[in-house]
Amino acid sequence: MPIADVFRTIASRPRSSTKGPLDADEAPVVSPISSQAARFSSSSYQHASSRTSSPLPLPRSPAPRSSPAPSAAPVTSKDFSFLLRPEIFHQISPLSVPTPFRSPARQPAPDTPIPDLLRRGHFRAAAIAAVQALTSSPVSASTAAAAAAHPPASPTDHARIFELLYTRLACLCLIDATPLAAQEAKALEDLNSAFYLDPLSGAHLVPWPLRVLGVRLQAIGFGDPRRAVMSYYELAREARLRVARAGGGGEGGGKARDHSAAELWKGRLAELGVKVAGALIEMDDLAGAAEHLATLGGGDGDQDFAVGGDGRRLAMSRALLWLHLGDVGAARRCVKDGKGGETGESVVNALADMADGEYEAALEKWETLRQTMAENDVHDEMVGVNLTVCLLYTGKMTEARDILEGLVDAGQTSHTLLFNLTTMYELCTDRHKNLKMRLAERVASKEPTSQGWEKTNADFKL
């Protein structure tokens, strides 16, 4: 089913019944960061010129969210050479990529900058380029021009090292190489360690997106699914402290309120709560996930972590998790009264009908939503794919296949779309392999976009 892919990005451990850091109304806690940083402020570290941690590029996000620079610029000359060892990184086999995508004429030039690779959806090439810059000895053949385009990172340049690591790990996840990313993320070890704190300001040197991504990858890499839940709670404890500080409270008190920072950290705290629920689901602790979700608000609770677009997105996330748990009523309540936006409420109601097996009713909702979007010149792939699933279950396979073919012709090429279309081929004819190869050739001929150009054999069920 198309909605299943939503739950592939989360990891794991049962929630304690006691009140914890995910509860936003709890009194502020004393910062573990400041006390740890104090122990590391001795002369054992030499402090070089000031360097502000810069936000990382998000390779494939429809609405990237920047990570603000800390209020006090980190000053450090710590040696991160242990993250630059070539043996950490793995070869990325091209054999999982269909032949049409491996054509040299369609591959980017070796000296293409990493931001350009990300912008054009060449995630495999970006992952390789990141390793080249991190190790100074690429894992694949390279030229002098490529080396010049991706100069080696200095062992003390923590901002660039973490930016490249995030690019590498995120791109591996985007090309369906999450197991490799999980093994490579183990090199970071304990991201909550005081080693990753600036000795003077106590600011964390690792950007927030990498810390959040590292939680799930390390849980997979170390084979400890409970580790994810514990790590999410550690991040949540820090987020609560940041909310208190931005609100003028916290240590010292008397500080001016920073409304934008407070809203940012509240949003991050709410997102961590959703990730914990997803982690519990991946552990098959459905009862714990349901109990945890009920405490997050947005539907049945009274907490309100975010407003505007972020609030609607989190409401949708909670609704989708409730659908996965089988509680259709709770899913509907998460988005009612405009909490998920008008479109979000329509989407969840249609998905709820599908979950109940009411495909005719769901089909009507998807068709209405599709027509409404078309009037506003919006062509949403998710709506089209779910519409075709309803058509399939109501015995209209030919019409469903035509709609999916039209989405591909319009430039839509997500994994869910291609997987559903190739499944249609398998249901329609015994000669589906030729149809799959022709589909791969069509997709490879499309112009690259930031949504990802290169596909894998699994996308076409080859």
pLDDT tens column, 390-417: 999 999 999 999 999 999 998 888 899 9
Least confident of 23-32, 371-380, 420-429: 23-32
Judged against a pLDDT cut of 80, whether residue 165 lies above it is answered with: yes
Angstrom CA distances, 255 to 201, 251, 358, stand at: 17, 9, 55
- pLDDT, greater one: 146 or 44: 146
CA dist list (Å): 3 to 223, 229, 309, 348, 361: 26, 23, 21, 11, 18
Q: Sorting pLDDT into bands at 50, 70 and 90, what band is 126?
A: very high
Contact 163, 54 (CB under 8 A): yes
In this structure, the dihedral spanned by the alpha carbons of residues 225, 230, 236 and 241, taken in order and rounded to 10 degrees, is: -160
Which of these, 291, 339, 302, lies nearest to 319 by C-alpha position? 339
pLDDT exceeds 50 at position 133: yes
pTM of the model: 0.76
